[in-house]
Structure 1
Amino acid sequence: MKSLLPIIALVLFVFGPARAQNPEGVWEGEIQDPKRPTVINVDFKTRRVSFSGTAPTTITQPALPSNDNRVRFQVANGAQTLKFAARQDGTRLTGEMDTGSRTIPFYLELLPSLPKPVGRAEAWQQDIDVVISRFLRYDRSYTAARREATRARLQALRAKVDRMSDQAITVELARAVALSGNAHTRLYLMRNRTEVRRVPIRVWWFGRELRIVSAATEYANLIGCRVTGIGRWNLPSAFSMVRNIKAGNASWQRYMSAYFLTSPDLLFGAGVLPNPERLPLTVSCGGRTRRVTVNPLPLRRSSTPVEAWWDLAPAYPHVDGLKPALAVEKAPPYLRHPDRNYWVEYLDAPAIVYLQYNRAQEMSSEPMADFIRRVTRTLDEHSIKGLIVDVRFNTGGDAGVGTPLVEALAARSKGLPVVVLTGRATFSAGITHAAQWKQFANASIIGEPAGDGLDLWSEGGNLLLPNSGLTVHYANGFHAYSVKDYPAFKPYFSDLNVATLVPDRVVEVSWSNYAAGRDPVLEAALARIRKSS
C-alpha cells in the first residue's frame, strides 16, 4: 500500500573494538519499528544489503579489523544517514538503528547455509523450510492458531513432495500461505508477477456469467462466448476448486479467478484438469453449446504486474496481441484510459466532474501535484453539481500519492454530493482512498463490493525461495479503517474511522451492458447526484 523506506544506499561497515573475527555469511532480521518492521538482509562476505526484499545495494568499503563483539555500520539514505550499532552473541546481532531523529531496535541472525539440493524433492523441501522458518516469522497477519495450522500444513506438504507434481506443490504451497485469511499475504503466481502459463484468451465475470472478453486471432471465434464448463467440471465447480489459492473476500476471489481459470498449470495443480498442456472448455456461443480446446502459451516469467481489468479495455496494448470484444469507439469513460493512473473529465450536460483513479502511483507525465491543480481549476471554472470518483480498478500502490488529492478535493467539494465507485478490483490503497472519501467527504458508494475489508494487514516485503524462484509476500503493517478497535495491533500503520464500505447501491455491469458500451454504475451515480441537487 505504501512503498517501504526508499533505501538506495552506500553502506559503511565499522567493526570496532571487537572479538577476533568479523561476522561472516548472510544475516537476516528486523528493524523493529512497531508500526511496520523492515526486514534487513546483510551479506557480510559479499558486502551487500537489502531491505524487505528489495534489490540489494553493494557495500563499497570492506570491513575493518575488529577486536571485540561490537558491530557498527551506516546506510546512506539520500541526505539521511542510518547508523546501526549492535553486539554479537554467537549467531545473533542485537542493537539499535539511529535515524538522526529516533532510535529503533533491530536484530540480525545468521542464516543457515543451504547445501545444493539432491534432486527435485529436496529442492522443494528447502523452499518450504524457508517459508516455515523465515516467512512465518515476519508476517504479522496470522493469528496464533492460523500460524500453527499453516506450519502443520506446510510440514505435511514437505513430507509428500516426492509424490506430487510441481503444479500441485505450487497450488498447495499457495493455499497454505493463504490460511492467514489476509489477502496481502500470498505466494506470487499471477497478477503481481507471472510464474505460470496462461492460454491466449481472457475472461471476466458479468454477474454469474463468465465471458471471453479477448482472445488471440486463432481463437477469435470464442470472443463473447459464455464459459459453462472447464474440463469435466461445470463452471461453479471449477471456480470453487481454484478459490483460496489466494486469500480474500468474495469480490477478490472473483477478480483473481479471472487469472486462475485461464492457467492450465494452476487448474492442473488444483485438480480441475488431468493435463496441464491443454485447456478444454465448454462454451455457449449464440445459443449453441460446444467443446473447444485452447493450448497454453510458453511461460514468460515476469515481475511486471498484469491487471485482469485491462482485458476489458479495448485500447490496452496487449503483449500477446489479443483481440478485444469491444470496439475502441464504443468504450465508455471507465474503459477509455487504461494507460493512465489518474485522469479527469468535466461532464457538461449534468455539470459533474468525473475522476478516475486507477493506480496509486505517480505519473511522470503529470505529477500528482500538477493533477490536483488541474482538477481544482476544473472545479473553479464550472458550476459543479457533484463529484464522482471512480476507484473500481485501483488495486493499490502507494496510498501517500493519492491522499493529498483526497484532502484537497474533499475540502473543495464541501456541500456537493460525492459518489465513489467501487468494484471487485478496489484493493489495498484503492480501499484506503474509498474510505478516505467516505470519511472526509461523506461520499456515497455505488458499484460492487470492494476487494477487501476495511481492516487489513498490508505493507511488508518479499522473500525469494531459493530453488523454485517463487516469491512469498509477508504483511506486517495494520490498517484500521473501521470503527472497531484493535488494541493488540497498535500502533496502527494507518487509521480511519469508517462505519462501512458496503455500497449504498450495488450495481454490476452485465454482459449486454458491456457489449453495448454502457456503464450502469456511472449512470446510477449520475442519477444519485441529480436526485441530491
Structure 2
Amino acid sequence: MKKLLNLMCLFAILCSQAVALPKHQVTEWEEDIDFYVEQVKTKHIKPFHTLSEKEFDQRIATLKAELDILSEVQIETRLMGITSSLSDGHSNYFMMSGPHRHFPLRFKYFGDELRIIAAAEDYEHLLGSELVSINGVPTSDLYERLKHYLSGVDNEFSEKVSFEFHLTLAKLLTGLGIAADGEEAEFVTRSGSSLSTHHIEPISMELFGQIEPPYQARRPALAMKDIAMPGIQLDIVNETTAYFRFRHYPDLEDVLDNCTALQSKLESSNARHLIIDFRGNGGGNFYTGLAFSSCLLPLKQFDWLTGAVLLTDGHTFSAAMSNVVQFKQLFNATVIGEPTGGDPNTFSESYRFELPNSKRKLSLSIRYYPFLEKPTEAVYPEELVTQSWAEYEEGLDIVLMRALEYF
C-alpha cells in the first residue's frame, strides 16, 4: 500500500511540473540551446572525451523536440544532466544562476550515513539525524538519481560532496520529479532506532546561506590569526608547528605584498614544523598558491628533511588539489586525511559564459594539466584518516591531531 501511495505521489508531482511554456519562451530556449551547443563544441578543449559527440547531439535533439511539453525547471535539469555527462568538474551548468530555493538543512556523509549537520531554527531538533528518504525515495536511490546531474565532480569523492549540497536544491529535486515546485517535501529521518517524519518547505538562498553547522572543532585548541592574506590563517601550535588553515585563495597581490611580514612572524617564532590544511578548499588561482609556497621555502628554520604535512578531503578541488601535488614535491610533504575531490590528471580551468535569453550561467574546461605521471582519479593520502560522527559531534579534529603527532 505504501509503495502504491509513493507511486501516486510521484505521478502527481510529475504531472504538476509538466506545464507547457508559452511559444516565445520555447523559441528563446531553442536559441539558448543552440548557443550552448556552439560554446561546448568550440570552447571546451576536448568536449567529447567521455560522452561521444553523436550521443551529445542526440540528447540535444531530443531536448529540443520536447521543449513544448517541458517546464522551464525540467529544461534546466536536462541541460544540467547533459553538461554533467561531459564528465569533468570544470564543465558545469549552474542551476543556482536562476531563481531557486533550498531546503533548510545541510548534510554530510559519515561512512554510508548521511547526517544533518546544520538546520534552520525550526529544524534544529533534527541535528545529527540520518536522512532516510525524501518523498518516499530512499537516500541511496536519491544518490543514484542525482549523481548524473551534479556539478563540480571529478571523481567519487567530489561526487559525494556535490550530492551533499545539491540535495538541498529544491529546483533540482523538482526537475527530477522528486518534489513539487515550491511546496513542502516529506523528509524521514532516523535518530538511534527511531524514525520520524517532517514536512519541510524550501527557503530563499539568502536564508539558506545563514545556516551554519553548530559543531566546531574544539580539540586541538587553536588560536587562528589573520596574516593579511584573506582565506589563509596561522597558528603556532605547541610553539613548534606552524599550522596554516588554507580555506580560500587570496588575491596574488595579497600574498606578494605581505610575504615579508609573514616571514618575519615565522622567524620570530620557534616553529620548526609546517602543516598546511587544504580541507574545504574548492580552489582558486593556483599561481597564488605557488606564490605562497615561494614565501615559505626560503625559511631555514623548518625541518625540510622531515618535510611538511598537507591535509586534504573530498572538498579539496581544482587549484587546491593542484597545489597539494606541487607542495608534496616542493615541501617534501606527506598528505594526511581523505582523498581529494579533484583529479590530478583531468581537464581544468573554466571558461564561463551565460545563455543569451535565460541568462543561466555555465562553465567549460579549457586546459588539461597532467599533474601526476601515473593515472589516478585523486591525490590519495599517505595516511588515510576519516572522521566519525561521534568525533565530529564531540569537536575532535582527528586529522589535525594525527598531523601534529606526525612530528
TM-score by length of 1: 0.65
What do the CA deviations read for 1:458-514 (whole angstroms, capped 9, x no partner)?
Answer: 2342221122221121221222211269xxxxxxxxxxxx99721112222222111
Output the CA distance in 2 between the equivalents of 1:334 and 1:282: 39
Pair 329,299 (structure 1): closer, same or farther in 2 beyond 3 Å: closer
The yes-or-no answer on 1:386 pairing with 2:273 is yes
- Given that 2:183 and 2:201 are in contact with CA atoms closer than 8 Å, whether structure 1 keeps it comes out as yes
Aligned twin of 1:515 = 393
Aligned twin of 1:219 = 123
Superposed displacement of residue 327, structure 1:
5.9
What do the CA deviations read for 1:348-396 (whole angstroms, capped 9, x no partner)?
Answer: 26x21111111122299xx213543344334423443421110111111
Superposed displacement of residue 436, structure 1:
1.1
Output the CA distance in 2 between the equivalents of 1:472 and 1:328: 35
Superposed displacement of residue 347, structure 1:
0.4
Pair 348,333 (structure 1): closer, same or farther in 2 beyond 3 Å: closer
Output the CA distance in 2 between the equivalents of 1:504 and 1:407: 24
Aligned twin of 2:28 = 123
User: Would you tell me which structure has more helix in proportion to its own residues?
Assistant: 2
Given candidates 466, 472, 481, the residue that maps to 2:362 is: 472
Aligned residues: 378
Aligned twin of 1:134 = 39
1:120-519 equivalent positions in 2, closer than 5 A: 120-143=25-48, 146-190=52-96, 193=97, 195-245=99-149, 246=151, 247-273=153-179, 277-298=183-204, 321-322=210-211, 324-326=213-215, 333=222, 340-348=230-238, 351-362=240-251, 367-412=254-299, 413=302, 414-483=304-373, 501-519=379-397
Residue type matched to 1:137 in 2? T
Output the CA distance in 2 between the equivalents of 1:393 and 1:371: 24
Residue type matched to 1:377 in 2? S
Output the CA distance in 1 between the equivalents of 2:223 and 2:188: 31
Output the CA distance in 2 between the equivalents of 1:234 and 1:396: 32
Unaligned stretches of 5+ in structure 2?
1-21
SS at match of 1:180: coil
Unaligned stretches of 5+ in structure 1?
1-116, 301-317, 486-497
Superposed displacement of residue 453, structure 1:
0.9
Superposed displacement of residue 235, structure 1:
0.8
- Given that 1:204 and 1:213 are in contact with CA atoms closer than 8 Å, whether structure 2 keeps it comes out as yes
Larger Rg, first or second structure (1 or 2): 1
Aligned twin of 1:71 = none
RMSD value, Cα: 2.9
Output the CA distance in 2 between the equivalents of 1:432 and 1:523: 24
Pair 398,325 (structure 1): closer, same or farther in 2 beyond 3 Å: same
Output the CA distance in 1 between the equivalents of 2:180 and 2:231: 40
Output the CA distance in 2 between the equivalents of 1:120 and 1:336: 52
Aligned twin of 2:4 = none
Aligned twin of 1:20 = none
Output the CA distance in 2 between the equivalents of 1:275 and 1:475: 32
SS at match of 1:482: coil
SS at match of 1:326: coil
Aligned twin of 2:9 = none
Pair 330,292 (structure 1): closer, same or farther in 2 beyond 3 Å: farther
Superposed displacement of residue 147, structure 1:
3.4
- Given that 1:385 and 1:417 are in contact with CA atoms closer than 8 Å, whether structure 2 keeps it comes out as no
Output the CA distance in 2 between the equivalents of 1:194 and 1:388: 40
Output the CA distance in 1 between the equivalents of 2:317 and 2:224: 18
SS at match of 1:205: strand
What do the CA deviations read for 1:157-198 (whole angstroms, capped 9, x no partner)?
Answer: 1111222232222121111112221110111124xx575210
Pair 293,331 (structure 1): closer, same or farther in 2 beyond 3 Å: farther
- Given that 2:336 and 2:382 are in contact with CA atoms closer than 8 Å, whether structure 1 keeps it comes out as yes
Residue type matched to 1:470 in 2? R
Indicate the percent of aligned positions where both proteins have the same amino acid: 23
Superposed displacement of residue 276, structure 1:
5.0
Output the CA distance in 1 between the equivalents of 2:307 and 2:99: 44
User: Would you tell me which structure has more strand in proportion to its own residues?
Assistant: 1
Output the CA distance in 1 between the equivalents of 2:293 and 2:343: 20
